Amino acid sequence: MNSILGYAQLIKKDNKDNKDVDKIIDAGKNMAHSVKGLLNKVKKCNVSMMSPININELVTEELNLCNHNLFFKHYVILTKNLQKDLPEVKAVYGDISLCVANILNNAIESLKNSVDKNIKVRTYKTDKMIAIEIQDSGEGIAEKNFKKIFETYFTTKVGKEGSGFGLGLAITKNIIERYNGKITMSSQLEIGTTFTILLPAAE
């Protein structure tokens, strides 16, 4: 990336009005930023021990990584409301990172055929729990599937492009419950879905 940016900037020096070179430089800087964020996440995830986690920082990193998804980057309207000065959560960083990534990816997928493409992410404290709320304006989930949605191998994506194996939400629920937390879901067809992760605040 440094080589690409370096040569592009040399070309720019002799072609100051070339808009295509500007695009190469901007794209290179964005890629370098994304790679740095990904490496930072990998470094944290490789530490498989319990440690205090700043939930707002974790959520922000996961949202930054979502920009690898061009659909998310160019079409989705993101609203963030992260409560300041939240207590930390004690957990393995990779576990919570995976849970948030699973729900965000599901939210993005649900928006593909929606007219309004909105994702709202909120963090807040309730009692002794820290909440991560992810709301989308996607296709929603039928009420008959509410009790099945966290079951292993159950998926509403059968026959769809990029359909999964029905493991993401089951794994997420299992991880959250291991930390004495819980995950809830509410949804309406063609209105959207809200998932809320609740984790005990570190003492």
Among residues 67, 143, 130, which one has the least CA distance to residue 104?
67
pLDDT, tens digit only, all 203 positions of the chain: 777 878 788 888 888 888 888 888 887 777 776 677 667 766 676 666 888 999 999 999 999 888 878 789 889 999 999 999 999 999 999 899 999 999 999 999 999 999 999 999 999 999 899 999 999 999 999 999 988 898 877 776 544 554 454 678 988 999 999 999 999 999 999 999 999 999 999 98
Residue 52 near residue 89 (C-beta atoms within 8 A): yes
Residue 46 CB partners (closer than 8 Å, separation 6+): 94
State whether 22 and 94 are in the same domain.
no
Query: 35-49: string of b/e by CB count within 10 Å (b at 16+)?
Result: eebeeebeebeeeee
**Cα separation, 65 vs 100, whole angstroms:** 12
Q: Are residues 63 and 150 in the same domain?
A: yes
pLDDT score of 122: 98
What is the CATH number for 155?
3.30.565.10
Task: Print the domain residue range for 37.
Answer: 1-46
Q: What is the pLDDT of residue 13?
A: 81
For residue 195, what pLDDT is reported? 97
In total, how many domains does the chain have? 2
Is the pTM higher than 0.95?
A: no
- Amino acid 163: pLDDT: 45
Q: Does 63 share its domain with 106?
A: yes
Describe the crossing of helices 93-110 and 19-45 by its angle, rounded to 10 degrees.
Answer: 130
- 31 and 99 fall within a common domain: no
Q: Same structural domain for residues 130 and 114? A: yes
Q: Are residues 19 and 77 in the same domain?
A: no
Q: Are residues 163 and 68 in the same domain?
A: yes
Q: Are residues 15 and 111 in the same domain?
A: no
Same domain, yes or no: 74 and 156: yes
Angle between helices 93-110 and 55-65 (to 10 degrees): 50
